Amino acid sequence: MEPYLQSQESRRNFLVKGGLLLAAAGLLGAGCTPGAEQEGNLAAIAPTEDLMAEHGVLSRLMLVYDEITRRLRFGEDFPLQVLAAGNDITRRFIQAYHEKNEESHLFNRFSNAGDLTELVAVLYQQHLAGRKLIGEIDRLNTEANMRNPAQRLRVAEYLITFNQLYRRHAAWEDTVLFPAFRSMIPGKDFAALGDAFSKEEEKLFGPGGFATIVGQVAELEKKLGIYELQQYPQKV
């Protein structure tokens, strides 16, 4: 697990404390007392904040896929189990958990309200396409295929397609869908949904499940030699 995730606190507890500090600072700055009434529950983390943090996990998985793609295209070796493990995390955490929450709690609400229906339809179809892509990549991830230049390029093309799809997908959700979702739900319901996300995450992945998943992705980065952030300095 990464050094900054060593604490046994869950992501939500960490975010709650940070949010309370910021909220308190804002109240005091406005001349209010910390006990003033606010809409919703300060201790509840926004469900969209959870979803955006999970997009961060997806982004790091795509960095793993980027490095594997580079090696595939240039004829370099890589551990097949790294690709298999990355796909497993993508399926379990992104597709079976994160995307299912989006479909059940966000997409359905927008569809029922008749709002952003075209965008939601596209996003849903992209979820389906992403699942097919991961299935194909898994199917082709064999020793025999990795010795075949044509099959290596085929896997690389699938990985490129996946990353192109999901980078745009996540960007539209973060900048259009999630802000619109916040404006359509009362504060108390919004907070309750955040709590529901937290309970579901703990049920599926255990206490501190988010930190565990991030740690698993970090191990894949280390195996590929792309973990250290400082190895990518910006040269001007």
Q: Which domain holds residue 31?
A: 11-43
Indicate the range of 6-10, 20-24, 108-112, 114-118 predicted with least confidence.
Answer: 20-24
- Give yes or no for residue 158 having a pLDDT over 60: yes
- The pTM (predicted TM-score) of the whole model is 0.83
Comparing CA positions, the residue from 167, 132, 148 lying closest to residue 55 is 167
* Structural domains of the chain, count: 2
pLDDT in tens, 110-124: 999 999 999 999 999
Same domain, 28 and 54: no
Residue 17 pLDDT > 50: no
**Secondary structure of residue 158 in the 3-state scheme:** helix
Residues 58 and 109 in one domain: yes
Indicate the pLDDT class of residue 126, thresholds 50, 70 and 90: very high
Asked if the structure places residue 6 within a domain, the reply is: no
- Cα–Cα distance for residue pair 57/69, rounded to 1 Å: 18
Domain check: are 26 and 131 in the same one?
no
Distance from C-alpha of 180 to C-alpha of 176, rounded to nearest angstrom: 6
Q: Which of 70, 65, 109 is nearest to 85 (CA)?
A: 65
